[in-house]
């Protein structure tokens, strides 16, 4: 019981702090989630992390809800709720305050400068997410090929992403990957 | 229209002509947006807020989204809070936030319980392995899409910053906070210096 409430506390401050550094959204924080959940806290294996990423991508709702799955794996329903709120509430409060502030002094050029400065950082973070997830998911050259095909199709066409996830699931079920 | 006509009858010219949504309307609208959004909610947020309900013009939506994108944290969650507060203050924020996150969190918790119970079944493991391969591809394509404007502008400084963050986080696996505490001030200083040198 004691270790359970300890791990809920850890979930809370880990994701609460992480959310403030999630520049560019939830997918940019995936390397940090992987580092904490797999390497530091040993909450889950590499394979389980790849699995929860897959589940979060094919479920409805914002991508950030991967933290709900991680939280559940650590401490059940309470863990799921604490992880989700910790990841979403601090930045929501920040967003509320900043939006209030900006409507009052809307002619400053700083928001535009900060925004432009953050773009390359969030692209670098997303790229790192891609690399880390590719290393955990693509265990064979066929798997890497599926990832490459999906990347090319998503980049070059307007295909609904759900079809690509479905195709990946079918190939996996057939035992190809 | 005479200038002394009652102000209530005059729709503000830069606002879309629609009554501001109530709390339950906010909750329901964001719940719908969220549940429709497989693999990215933003498209559905735009469709719901701008096209369907006409609560914002496309420009207002873009401005609000830009603000939420440069703030840390999940962008769409931030958007729901800023949007809700614009119409109904803090209660509006909470209604939109709860609508966006409540229903999918329930679904996600059920899926998590199913995974905890059945995650070892071989067929499910194979399916999830396949889905995650495809999902990684989607993420990579999003990265390429975001990089294209920088490549087209030949923005070498930005591309070096992209590469530096990629190496620090992806290859060296350094902690996020440490990397950003260096990278954010550096990037802001560089951007500021470049804008002063090249006006406009």
The phi, psi pair for B149, rounded to 5°, reads: -60, -40
**Burial of A84: CB neighbours in 10 Å, binned 0-12, 13-18, 19+:** buried
What pLDDT shows up at residue A107?
A: 62
Q: Which residue of A has its CA nearest to B123?
A: A173
pLDDT of A42 strictly over 90: yes
Q: Which residue of A has its CA nearest to B30?
A: A61
pLDDT of B47 strictly over 50: yes
Do the beta carbons of residue B35 and residue A60 sit within 8 Å?
yes
Q: Report the phi/psi class of residue B10: left, alpha or beta, with left for phi > 0 and alpha for psi in -120 to 50.
A: beta
Q: What is the mean pLDDT of residues B52-66?
A: 83
Alpha carbon of B2: minimum distance to chain A alpha carbons (Å): 30
Crossing angle of helices A141-156 and A110-137, rounded to 10°:
150
Separation of CA B139 from chain center: 15
What pLDDT shows up at residue B13?
A: 44
Q: pLDDT tens for residues B137-196? A: 988 998 898 888 889 988 899 999 999 999 999 999 999 989 999 999 999 999 889 888
> What ranges make up the beta strands (E) of chain B?
none
pLDDT of B113 strictly over 60: yes
What pLDDT shows up at residue A1?
A: 47
Contact A146 B134 (CB under 8 A): yes
**Burial of B185: CB neighbours in 10 Å, binned 0-12, 13-18, 19+:** exposed
Where does the pLDDT of residue A106 fall: very low under 50, low under 70, confident under 90, or very high at 90 and above?
low
**If you average pLDDT over every residue of chain B, what do you get?**
84
Question: Which ranges of chain A does DSSP label H, i.e. alpha helix?
Answer: 2-20, 30-34, 46-58, 66-104, 110-137, 141-156, 161-173
Q: What is the mean pLDDT of residues A24-43?
A: 91
- 3-state DSSP call for residue A41? coil
Q: Which residue of B has its CA nearest to A97?
A: B82
Distance, first Cα to last Cα, chain A = 40
pLDDT of B135 strictly over 80: yes
Chosen for mutation from A89, A92, A119, A137 (greatest number of chain B CBs closer than 10 Å) is A92
What pLDDT shows up at residue A3?
A: 65
**Nearest CA among B134, B81, B139 for reference residue A176:** B134
Alpha carbon of B154: minimum distance to chain A alpha carbons (Å): 13
Lowest-confidence range among A14-18, A32-36, B34-38, B129-133?
A: B34-38
- 3-state DSSP call for residue A1? coil
pTM of the predicted model, to two decimals? 0.83
Using alpha carbons only, give the angle A124, A44, A23 rounded to the nearest 5 degrees: 25
The ipTM (two decimal places) reads 0.86
**Nearest CA among A5, A84, A93, A11 for reference residue A44:** A11
Write the residue in B41, B139, B150 that is nearest to A27 by C-beta. B139
Where does the pLDDT of residue A79 fall: very low under 50, low under 70, confident under 90, or very high at 90 and above?
very high
């Amino acid at each position: 019981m004691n270790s359970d409430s300890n791990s809920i506390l850890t979930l809370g401050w880990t994701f609460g702090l992480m959310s403030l550094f999630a520049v560019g959204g939830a997918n940019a924080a995936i390397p940090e989630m992987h580092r904490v959940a797999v390497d530091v806290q040993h909450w889950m294996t590499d394979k389980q992390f790849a699995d929860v990423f897959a589940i979060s991508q094919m479920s409805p709702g914002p991508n950030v809800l991967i933290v709900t799955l991680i939280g559940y794996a650590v401490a059940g329903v309470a863990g799921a709720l604490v992880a989700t709120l910790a990841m979403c509430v601090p930045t929501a409060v920040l967003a509320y305050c900043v939006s209030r502030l900006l409507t009052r002094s809307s002619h400053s050029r700083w928001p535009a400068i900060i925004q432009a400065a953050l773009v390359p950082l969030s692209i670098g973070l997303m790229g790192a997410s891609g690399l880390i997830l590719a290393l955990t998911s693509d265990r064979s050259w066929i798997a890497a090929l599926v990832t490459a095909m999906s990347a090319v199709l998503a980049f070059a066409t307007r295909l609904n992403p759900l079809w690509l996830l479905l195709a990946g699931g079918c190939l996996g079920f057939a035992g190809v990957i | 229209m005479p200038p002394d006509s009652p102000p209530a009858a005059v729709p503000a010219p830069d606002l879309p002509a629609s009554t501001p949504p109530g709390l339950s309307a906010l909750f329901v609208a964001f719940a719908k947006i969220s549940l429709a959004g497989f693999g990215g909610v933003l498209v559905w947020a735009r469709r719901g807020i701008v096209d369907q309900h006409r609560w914002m013009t496309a420009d207002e939506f873009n401005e609000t989204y830009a603000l939420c994108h440069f703030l840390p944290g999940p962008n769409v969650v931030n958007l729901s809070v800023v949007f809700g507060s614009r119409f109904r203050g803090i209660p509006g924020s909470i209604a939109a936030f709860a609508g966006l996150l409540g229903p999918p969190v329930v679904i996600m918790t059920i899926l998590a319980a199913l995974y905890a119970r059945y995650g070892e079944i071989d067929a499910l493991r194979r399916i999830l392995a396949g889905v995650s391969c495809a999902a990684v591809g989607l993420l990579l394509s999003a990265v390429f899409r975001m990089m294209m404007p920088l490549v087209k502008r030949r923005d070498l400084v930005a591309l070096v910053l992209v590469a530096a963050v990629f190496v620090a986080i992806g290859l060296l696996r350094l902690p996020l906070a440490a990397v950003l505490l260096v990278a954010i001030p550096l990037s802001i200083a560089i951007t500021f210096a470049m804008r002063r040198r090249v006006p406009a």
